Amino acid sequence: MTKSIAPRTRKVRVLATLGPASNTPEMIGALFEAGADAFRVNMSHGDQASKIPVIEAIRSLEKRYGRPTTILADLQGPKLRVGKFADGRVMLEKGAVFILDRDPTPGDASRVELPHREIFEAIQPGARLLLDDGKLVLRVTEHEPARIVTRVEVGGALSNSKGLNVPDVVLPMAALTEKDRSDLAFAVEQGCDWIALSFVQRPEDLAEARRLIGGKAALLAKIEKPSAVTRLEEICEACDGVMVARGDLGVELPPETVPPLQKQIVETARRLGRPVIVATQMLESMITSPSPTRAEVSDVATAVYDGADAIMLSAESAAGAWPVESVAMMNAIADAVERDPAHGDRVHFTVLHPDPTTADALSAAAKEITSTVTAAAIICFTMSGSTARRIARERPGVPILVLTPKHETARRLGLLWGTHAVHTRDVGSFEEMVAKAKRMALRHRLARAGDRVVVCAGVPFGTPGSTNVLHVVQIIGDELKNYEKG
């Protein structure tokens, strides 16, 4: 039985990561009701078999609530780690010489194995090596084909298999490992809507993933390396969406540089019409506490004011003690920010320059018309979702009701700002388009009698990329009565 739930009034989307604290059907339903619009399945943890019931539980929400669901499968990517130590742990003193080599013999306070030949190929004197999420810093002084000599700049304890970051060079490594290729094939087979690619350093890194996906899902690039920032625009053009992965960016870059980079990434993605997610440590204290810090609330609010398409919870919803409360808090913060009278002006800080196409011109015009005639909603008929993305890029002040005959399109739009996607039969004539637009606006409670709505579509109907119609219609009282009778 379908359970009625009102459309989200906010426009920014909430993406909740699932994990041990939230992967049951009951919890997934509770997170949805608390405000989660989309769900992240982290392929770094657990095996593929354990993901199947989670994906099924997410999809079951469609019948329960009568809405498309959105699943993002996040690939692990390459993990750089040092080898093991004879005693399991050493202490590196500031100023000491420490060597990384290809010798698998357990290490000590003077050396350890580094089992990644690509680093030896790319490293240069002067480059930094960051260990254990940046807690320890080494500076390269000498470099040989199988030996890297460093000096310890920031010391501390180092134990077996700790992670390694190389922020100052582009490594000759593919973004996809064998595990990632297997997980990608699994995610596509299971019908996941988005595939998130880790360790993106350059636009070329996206090509293999795009080929393996084969058009069956949208591709999202995680911006987590300094090298990706230097080629940000090219990466955005090569993918369908981006994520500001602030955790890894904050390891490889000075923390004070991350906030301006966040704004740069959001602005670039918005300008190019790509959905952008702000992620990592947004409500970190809610892993153990039922309420966030005021600084965390301000951080979430900043992402909403900047016009991000989605804001993401990680461990807060996946492994924390308060997953439902974390989603509810993020939902409440977003609602409060979007009710601020200044939000409409601040969300337009990005200067947009539409392409010289009919579709872009009509999308920009749709936003202007809604404010001129005080329309209640924009109603968009689309096959691929491209028209919806163009309209959302403009950040109109009203909801965007997206009507599509393709399940895949409706599901992928769950990460797009301001959209309420509905899977429905396509229309075949102009008159049918107008009637359906009015009927669906009423059904989904986005308009009332007397309201105007702006309709955007393409003629001939059912042809992708043919957006060429913009029409303003008014819902009259008799239509409301007829709908209520029907």
Helix (H), strand (E), coil (C) string for 159-213: ECCCEEECCCCCCCCCCCCHHHHHHHHHHHHCCCCEEEECCCCCCCHHHHHHHHH
- Tell me how many degrees the CA angle 334-336-340 measures, rounded to the nearest 5: 115
Catalytic position from the list 10, 11, 13, 40: 40
Asked if 317 and 18 touch (Cβ cutoff 8 Å), the reply is yes
Report the CATH architecture of 358-485. Answer: 3-Layer(aba) Sandwich (3.40)
Report the CATH architecture of 13-77+174-345. Answer: Alpha-Beta Barrel (3.20)
Q: How many CB atoms lie within 10 A of CB 186?
A: 18
Residues paired with 149 in a beta bridge: 99, 142
Residues in the chain, how many?
Answer: 486
Catalytic position from the list 64, 79, 81, 202: 81
Closest CA to 370 of 434, 455, 270: 455
pLDDT value at residue 358: 85
Q: Which fold has domain 89-165?
A: M1 Pyruvate Kinase; Domain 3 (2.40.33)
Whole-structure pTM value: 0.92
Determine the Cα–Cα distance for residues 235 and 230; give it in Å rounded to an integer: 10
Catalytic position from the list 10, 11, 222, 436: 222
User: Rounded to 5 degrees, what are φ and ψ at 471?
Assistant: -140, 135
| Domain boundaries defined on the chain | 13-77+174-345, 89-165, 358-485
10 is catalytic: no
pLDDT value at residue 465: 65
Catalytic position from the list 150, 268, 280, 419: 280
390 is catalytic: no
Blockwise average pLDDT, block size 10, the chain, 486 residues? 69 98 97 97 95 98 94 96 96 97 96 95 95 95 95 96 93 94 98 97 96 97 94 97 93 92 95 95 96 97 96 97 98 96 83 79 92 94 92 94 96 96 91 92 91 89 76 78 50
pLDDT value at residue 482: 56
Strands 400-404 and 419-423, sheet pairing: parallel
40 is catalytic: yes
Q: How many CB atoms lie within 10 A of CB 300?
A: 24
pLDDT value at residue 5: 64
pLDDT value at residue 485: 47
Beta strands in 323-437 (DSSP E): 377-381, 400-404, 419-423
